[in-house]
Chain A
Amino acid sequence: MQIEEQQSEIRFFPEGGIDVRKIEAELMSMWTEMSRPESGTDAPALTRACTLNLIVYTTELSDSAHLADILDEVARRHPARTLLLVTDRDSTETRLAAYVATRCQILGARTKQVCGEQITIEVAGNAVDLAASAIAPLLVPDVPVFLWWDDIPHQDDQLFSRILAMTDRAVIDSAAFDNPYDDLLKLDTLMRNGDSLISDLNWGRLTSWRSLTASFWDVADYRPHLDNIDKVIVEFQPPGVASDQVALQPLLLVGWIASRLSWKLESANFDKGNNITHISYLAPNHPVNVIICGSEYETQEIDPLKSIRLLYTTGRAEFSVILEDEGSKLETTAITPDRPAVQRLVACEAKSDGQRLSSELSFLKRDKVYEGAVSAAAEIIKAVRS
């Protein structure tokens, strides 16, 4: 579906702040112009729609094309008022400027366009501290407010805290954390301490893995083996940054399983030389050893998982999900001693960042499962560091 954008710039002087009326007037002028009927027809050409407010925080527009692609993708499912906050905190210049734009889905010839709108606010230097107050009056009432924080969120960041307080849900991407351990611990603290609802695009990337792992528990005959899992092996490709730390995806996956199955953490340690993390859990009836090991192989950086294997060693049962075909497919295998192995190959979900963000914008409820996974992953990190 094609997206069309039109833009108009409004400049403000920092001492005057943002003139909300000017911005709304500029938008209204654009809508009026665009909604004039085509000549010879009586019907308006477009429908202005707003299903949510989306505040986007970013630090630079150097990758503006990628950002525009993501917002176009979001506009297809969620016509919205997007407030794009572009900040340059390190600038010595104090600056405040705004642009308004419309984003329309072209549904087809001779059909109405469905349009959302975008207000871009560029702030630099000391004006950054005022950005939250510029955003608040521009939020459309009666529809949810989402925040996509395209950076690492810090609870002690005043701007982040102020904007977070206005939102119904914030979306982050823990794959972008420069220091996975520290940043995850901060995320865990943030979620424990407040009412903030957080979504994580990195968690969304785990959906196929979780769905396929969960599917083993759908089979009644597998339960006696699954209830006695005593070993879990997760393989991943180590991240390019902070190579002394485990990427968050395997930690979140293990944290998810442990929290859902009520495993109690006993100890964790990291063998840096071999890039292996050993974790000991106590399941309700027996110990479980979890091994997270980094291995070199070709895959996309952002999805580092290679495999997860769940074993009941004495029962000779194994359940696995393995990435195949250069990262395009996932193969599940269920091996139990009393029957032939059952295998299945499915294509990986090829979702763009825009599609993942769109998915998160459909949820307003607290994601307790994600919070539980983060909390369990945070426990592992603390245990490794202790």
Chain B
Amino acid sequence: MHSPAVLDNPLRLGTRLERTAEPCAVVIFGASGDLTKRKLVPALYRLYQQRLLAAEFAIIGLSRSPLSHDQFRNRMNDAVKEFSEARMVDEDVWHSFAQGIYYLSSDIGNPEDYQKLAALLEEVDRERGTQGNRLFYFSVAPRFYGEAVKRLSEAGLAKPKEGRWTRVIIEKPFGTDLETARQLNRQVLEHFSESQIYRIDHYLGKETVQNLLAFRFANGIFEPLWNRQYIDHLQVTNAESVGVEGRGSYYETAGVVRDMIQNHVFQVLSLVAMEPPANLDAEAVRDEKVKAMMAAREFTAERVRAECVRGQYGPGAIEGKPVPGYREEDGVASDSTTETFAMLTMYFDNWRWAGVPFYIRSAKRMPKRVTEIAIQFKEAPHQLYGDEVMEQVGPNQLIIRIQPDEGITLRFAAKVPDQITRIRNVNMDFRYGSSFGVELAEAYERLLLDCILGDSTLYARKDMTERCWEIVMPILTEWAASASKVDFPNYEAGTWGPSASHEVLERSNRRWRRP
């Protein structure tokens, strides 16, 4: 998936050499925040170490903290040592990298600071050879996006110079509901074109998520089975063992549907549900993802009540340690009705998926952290071995594990070597870690590099973000309207959610897989 903007390089053509990004300056708004030190700078440093960034590269951190260039560089050095996978820094290599790190103390609403930024970018172009290519990363709350893009535009920084590029990465949440999402998109699109906007969803940078496309479309054997003829249902589990981790105030305004399902889960789901694209160009892939989500059946109030379940965790224990309930967390109201668990039953009304339920659950304080897609196939049309022999055997399953321990498992029945006939389930495992023996790239490394290369395949498009909001709005509306009727908490921390979420499947003679 190469960007047409990358120069044809005669020394790279036909080789195994890695693609290298063009010269550019990455400007991080909100550089004093957590994301910069935990993810962004460690990822950029690692890309630099791997020679995937040009030597002509610079980072400019912006925030209100009064820091010098060197103070910011030192902070980033500490951050890389603490948060990078390797947890170690070669000081000489770091020094070389840090020569390209700059800092500007600034206020996001102050027009003068954008003039200073423009001047600094010119200086960096001269000193570092970044050639006028700019990437603006908004690591700030969405309420600041409108102001930031307007000021960038006023300072002449939104439109690229001839032959150069300017891009902007915005983080989720893309709005808090459909209307705010549309408003946010309008604000940003007023000053940047859609092709300049990269809406990041870090789940799309995970290796197994990318492998979904390869798995489905580079093999001839799975796609013929990938439909209602052979698949009984799908289960998507996105479980976290952690609680809100001190972010109670934010979580009170969000809940799991806004925080996880509307973005991460739906992005992954679209890759499972989509039709094969005509090619691997970013727009071809994203067109099919949106088309799949357009077929999602509407959630009526009746469907929400009958086929969706919400929950909130109470006190319990995780990995042998007692943990408080959600309502005891900092920043959370003692009578909070915010959901920390949500289960949805989705259908896609198209030829491929008609009648196949997609059971989705996402929650905090589950027994373990796991994100997986389990595809359960229909049973064999005629059981030759009889009920007694097959009693212990479950249906075939294809499990795609996104985190942790990324990989794919195919579960099928095999005969146990013996005189008598015994059939049992066996797993055929493919695990990234042990199969390729390579260190997996962190999601942000892949995504940042893709944006610098101009490849938007793994980024969310405007129509996709708005469609995902359209799907969940009836659920949020119905749950808000009936908030007074909830009986929370309704699941103990360290369990797999409210019993109602199991009953929905049991009504159809199905059950949740234990991941």
* Interaction A to B: yes
Total chain B interface residues with beta-carbon distance under 8 A = 39
CA–CA, A363 to B49, complex, Å? 24
Q: Is B476 an interface residue (CB 8 A)?
A: no
Q: Write out, one digit per residue, whether chain A residues 339-362 have a CB within 8 A of any chain B CB (1) or not (0).
A: 110111111000000000010000
Complex interface: chain A residues within 8 A of B99 (CB): 343
**Residues A211 and B131 in contact, CB atoms below 8 Å apart:** no
A residues touching B (Cβ–Cβ < 8 Å)?
A: 1, 47, 76-78, 105, 107, 114, 207-208, 210-215, 217-221, 223, 256-257, 260-261, 325, 329, 331-332, 334, 339-340, 342-347, 358, 363, 367-369
CA–CA, A311 to B492, complex, Å? 70
Complex interface: chain B residues within 8 A of A346 (CB): 48-49, 51, 93, 96
Q: Is B478 an interface residue (CB 8 A)?
A: no
Task: Give the interface segment out of B261-269, B433-441, B481-489.
Answer: B433-441
Contact of A369 among B15, B55, B131, B437 (CB under 8 A): B15
**Residues B12 and A217 in contact, CB atoms below 8 Å apart:** yes
**Residues B434 and A114 in contact, CB atoms below 8 Å apart:** yes
Complex interface: chain B residues within 8 A of A208 (CB): 51
Give the residues from 50 to 105 in chain B that come closer than 8 angstroms, CB to CB, to chain A: 51, 54-56, 90, 92-93, 95-96, 99
Given contacts A76-B437, A342-B129, A358-B437, contact A217 B7 (CB under 8 A): yes
**Residues A220 and B436 in contact, CB atoms below 8 Å apart:** no
Q: Is B22 an interface residue (CB 8 A)?
A: yes
14 A-B residue contacts at CB 8 Å? A47-B429, A105-B434, A210-B17, A213-B11, A214-B12, A217-B9, A218-B54, A220-B22, A220-B163, A340-B127, A343-B55, A343-B96, A346-B48, A369-B14
Complex interface: chain A residues within 8 A of B436 (CB): 77
**Residues A257 and B55 in contact, CB atoms below 8 Å apart:** no
**Residues A342 and B56 in contact, CB atoms below 8 Å apart:** yes
Give the 7 A-B residue pairs with the shortest CB-CB distance, closest first.
Answer: A77-B437, A344-B55, A345-B96, A214-B11, A76-B437, A217-B9, A342-B129
Contact of A214 among B9, B49, B95, B429 (CB under 8 A): B9
Further pairs besides A211-B18, A219-B22: 5, Cβ < 8 Å:
A217-B10, A219-B54, A220-B163, A345-B95, A346-B49
**Residues B17 and A211 in contact, CB atoms below 8 Å apart:** yes
CA–CA, A347 to B95, complex, Å? 12
Q: Write out, one digit per residue, whether chain B residues 1-31 have a CB within 8 A of any chain A CB (1) or not (0).
A: 0000011011111111110111100000000
Complex interface: chain B residues within 8 A of A76 (CB): 437
- Find the B residue at minimum CB distance from A217: B9
Q: Is B126 an interface residue (CB 8 A)?
A: yes
Q: Measured between C-beta atoms, what is the minimum distance from B50 to chain A in Å? A: 8
Q: Is B368 an interface residue (CB 8 A)?
A: no
Complex interface: chain A residues within 8 A of B96 (CB): 331, 343-346
- Find the B residue at minimum CB distance from A261: B10
Complex interface: chain A residues within 8 A of B54 (CB): 215, 218-219
- Find the A residue at minimum CB distance from B50: A346
Q: Which of A256, A343, A347, A358 has the most CB atoms of chain B within a 10 A radius of its CB? A: A347
Complex interface: chain B residues within 8 A of A344 (CB): 55, 96
Q: Is B128 an interface residue (CB 8 A)?
A: yes
Given contacts A346-B51, A346-B93, A369-B15, contact A218 B131 (CB under 8 A): no
**Residues A218 and B9 in contact, CB atoms below 8 Å apart:** yes
Complex interface: chain A residues within 8 A of B131 (CB): 219-221
CA–CA, A340 to B128, complex, Å? 8
Contact of B11 among A114, A210, A329 (CB under 8 A): A210
Contact of B20 among A218, A256, A331 (CB under 8 A): A218
**Residues B17 and A207 in contact, CB atoms below 8 Å apart:** yes
Complex interface: chain B residues within 8 A of A342 (CB): 55-56, 128-129
Q: Measured between C-beta atoms, what is the minimum distance from A18 to chain B in Å? A: 28
Q: Measured between C-beta atoms, what is the minimum distance from A119 to chain B in Å? A: 22
Given contacts A220-B163, A257-B11, A347-B49, contact A215 B55 (CB under 8 A): yes
Q: Measured between C-beta atoms, what is the minimum distance from B455 to chain A in Å? A: 15
Complex interface: chain A residues within 8 A of B128 (CB): 342
Q: Measured between C-beta atoms, what is the minimum distance from B104 to chain A in Å? A: 20
Complex interface: chain B residues within 8 A of A214 (CB): 9, 11-12, 15, 17, 20
Complex interface: chain B residues within 8 A of A256 (CB): 11
CA–CA, A105 to B16, complex, Å? 28
CA–CA, A211 to B92, complex, Å? 20
B residues touching A (Cβ–Cβ < 8 Å)?
A: 6-7, 9-18, 20-23, 48-49, 51, 54-56, 90, 92-93, 95-96, 99, 126-129, 131, 163, 429, 434, 436-438
**Residues A325 and B92 in contact, CB atoms below 8 Å apart:** yes
Q: Measured between C-beta atoms, what is the minimum distance from A25 to chain B in Å? A: 17
**Residues A339 and B129 in contact, CB atoms below 8 Å apart:** yes
**Residues B126 and A339 in contact, CB atoms below 8 Å apart:** yes
Complex interface: chain A residues within 8 A of B11 (CB): 210, 213-214, 217, 256-257, 260-261
CA–CA, A334 to B131, complex, Å? 14
**Residues B55 and A332 in contact, CB atoms below 8 Å apart:** yes
Q: Measured between C-beta atoms, what is the minimum distance from A2 to chain B in Å? A: 13
**Residues B438 and A77 in contact, CB atoms below 8 Å apart:** yes
Q: Measured between C-beta atoms, what is the minimum distance from A363 to chain B in Å? A: 7
CA–CA, A345 to B15, complex, Å? 23
**Residues B129 and A221 in contact, CB atoms below 8 Å apart:** yes
Contact of A107 among B9, B13, B14, B434 (CB under 8 A): B434
**Residues A329 and B9 in contact, CB atoms below 8 Å apart:** no
CA–CA, A114 to B435, complex, Å? 9
Complex interface: chain A residues within 8 A of B90 (CB): 347
Complex interface: chain B residues within 8 A of A218 (CB): 6-7, 9, 12, 20-22, 54
Q: Measured between C-beta atoms, what is the minimum distance from A218 to chain B in Å? A: 5
Q: Which of A257, A345, A368 has the most CB atoms of chain B within a 10 A radius of its CB? A: A345
CA–CA, A345 to B126, complex, Å? 20
CA–CA, A76 to B90, complex, Å? 26
CA–CA, A206 to B436, complex, Å? 23
Q: Measured between C-beta atoms, what is the minimum distance from B126 to chain A in Å? A: 6
Q: Measured between C-beta atoms, what is the minimum distance from A272 to chain B in Å? A: 31
CA–CA, A346 to B51, complex, Å? 7
Complex interface: chain B residues within 8 A of A347 (CB): 49, 90, 93
- Find the A residue at minimum CB distance from B11: A214
Complex interface: chain B residues within 8 A of A220 (CB): 7, 22, 131, 163
CA–CA, A260 to B10, complex, Å? 6
Complex interface: chain B residues within 8 A of A211 (CB): 17-18, 20, 51
CA–CA, A114 to B95, complex, Å? 41
**Residues B20 and A215 in contact, CB atoms below 8 Å apart:** yes
Complex interface: chain B residues within 8 A of A358 (CB): 437
Q: Which of A107, A223, A346, A368 has the most CB atoms of chain B within a 10 A radius of its CB? A: A346
CA–CA, A256 to B127, complex, Å? 31
CA–CA, A345 to B91, complex, Å? 11
- Find the A residue at minimum CB distance from B99: A343
Q: Measured between C-beta atoms, what is the minimum distance from A349 to chain B in Å? A: 9
CA–CA, A1 to B437, complex, Å? 9
Complex interface: chain B residues within 8 A of A47 (CB): 429
Complex interface: chain B residues within 8 A of A339 (CB): 126, 129
Complex interface: chain B residues within 8 A of A207 (CB): 16-17
**Residues A329 and B129 in contact, CB atoms below 8 Å apart:** no
Given contacts A334-B129, A340-B126, contact A212 B51 (CB under 8 A): yes
- Find the A residue at minimum CB distance from B163: A220
Contact of B55 among A77, A114, A334 (CB under 8 A): A334
Complex interface: chain B residues within 8 A of A369 (CB): 14-15
Contact of B51 among A215, A261, A329, A368 (CB under 8 A): A215
Contact of B56 among A217, A219, A261 (CB under 8 A): A219
CA–CA, A322 to B20, complex, Å? 19
CA–CA, A334 to B56, complex, Å? 10
